[in-house]
Structure 1
Amino acid sequence: MKTKIIRVAEGKNSTLSHLYIDGIFQCFLLEDKIRQVKIMKQTAIPVGSFALKVNTVGAMNTKYSQKFGSNHKGMIEIAGLPTFSAVYIHIGNVISETAGCPLCGLSWIKKDGEFQVLQSTDAYKMIYPKLLSVAKSKDPGIVIENIFQF
């Protein structure tokens, strides 16, 4: 399966993206600002080709196991990122909740110059099994591109 994050718009300190699996739009993603020089927990992940993997360790994994029970098989991690580690696609609505990770949502708003995603838990429940399947497949790749539309 081909998986892509396509960035479509920038706020003052936020970036709005679309998540596609096999060419089909899945949900919106929210990331930090794109920066030339990384600022820890305030910078969007770089463009390029990476891999999705299932990460079964850490506090976030424990939290999601408690929240989602047996449906949770591990966090979906974007692996192989230069100067980034433990980057998960997860639940959240505003950039203060990203710490460099993409947050998923079914819709978005722009408030005071910043993007936010909404209905994050619903989006996560929808995309998690699909991303889990990609991460466990023979081609767990994910491509991140900047194609700003507005």
Structure 2
Amino acid sequence: MRLELHRTTFTKESTIGELSVDGVFECFVCEDPVRPVGAPKVFGKTAIPAGIYAVRVTYSNRFLRRLPLLVNVPDGDIHFGDLLIDDCGVRIHSGNTAADTEGCLLVGLDKKPDFVGRSRDAFSRFFPRLQDAVAAGPVLLTIR
């Protein structure tokens, strides 16, 4: 499975993008705002850098269920997910606005400025296929 997130809409409140699976549109994604070039990452306030990240599925103590986790997300001098310590990493989960995330990617089937809707539906459709793909072999997410 090849995942690609193309960031399309940038505001002071959020970043909205389109997630594709193997080249086919899957859903919209809401993240924290992308920071200006050269500005430091602010935990829980700015989006993760564009790049390529491995995706694993691990248990989240915060959400009390298995969720996707992006591995080796840089945040200054540390890397979230290096040791797969829960809740220090960037996850993919349901939610509607940047207020619902601390750097995570929120999926949704609808979008408005600074908002994705029908998030639980999007996650319910996406997660089983992702979980199967992760179990079968490496899954990478490219963020542009």
Q: Which TM bucket (shorter chain)?
A: 0.7 to 0.9
Distance in 2 of aligned mates of 1:106 and 1:11: 19
Instruction: Tell me by how many angstroms 1:86 deviates.
Output: 1.6
Which residue of 1 is the match for residue 46 of structure 2?
43
Q: 4+ residue runs of structure 1 moved beyond 6 angstroms? A: none
SS in 2 for 1:17: strand
Give the TM-score, by structure 1 length: 0.81
Distance 1:144 1:137 in 2: 22
The equivalent residue for 1:78 is: 70
Equivalent residue letter for 1:20: S
1:142 maps to 141
What TM-score do the two structures reach when normalised by structure 2?
0.85
Q: Is the 2:55–2:138 Cα contact (8 Å) retained in structure 1?
A: no
Alignment of 1:14-93 (within 5 A): 14-35=14-35, 36-60=39-63, 62=64, 65=65, 74-83=66-75, 84=80, 85-93=88-96
Q: Distance in 2 between matches of 1:40 and 1:80?
A: 15
**Which ranges in structure 1 are unaligned for 5 or more consecutive residues?**
66-73, 146-150
Gaps of 5+ in 2: 81-87
Partners of 2:60 and 2:2 in 1: how far apart? 26
Match of 1:96 among 87, 99, 123: 99
C-alpha displacement of 1:40: 1.3
Using the TM superposition, give the Cα deviation of residue 137 of structure 1 relative to its aligned residue in structure 2, in angstroms: 3.1
Instruction: Specify which structure has the higher proportion of strand.
Output: 2
- Structure 2 contact 73–89 (Cα < 8 Å) conserved: no
CA distance in 2, matches of 1:6, 1:24: 12
User: Which of the pair is proportionally richer in helix?
Assistant: 1
Figure out how many residues of one structure are paired with residues of the other and give that number.
130
SS of the counterpart of 2:91?
coil
- Tell me the residue number matched to 1:131: 130
Q: How far apart in 2 are the matches of 1:98 and 1:137?
A: 28
Match of 1:13 in 2: 13
Deviation readout 1:31-71 (Å, 9 max, x if unpaired): 001113111101101111110001124221x1xx4xxxxxx
Q: Percentage identity across aligned positions? A: 32
Q: Do the aligned partners of 2:54 and 2:140 also contact (CA within 8 Å) in 1? A: yes
What is the SS of the residue equivalent to 1:139? Answer: coil
1:133 CA displacement: 2.4
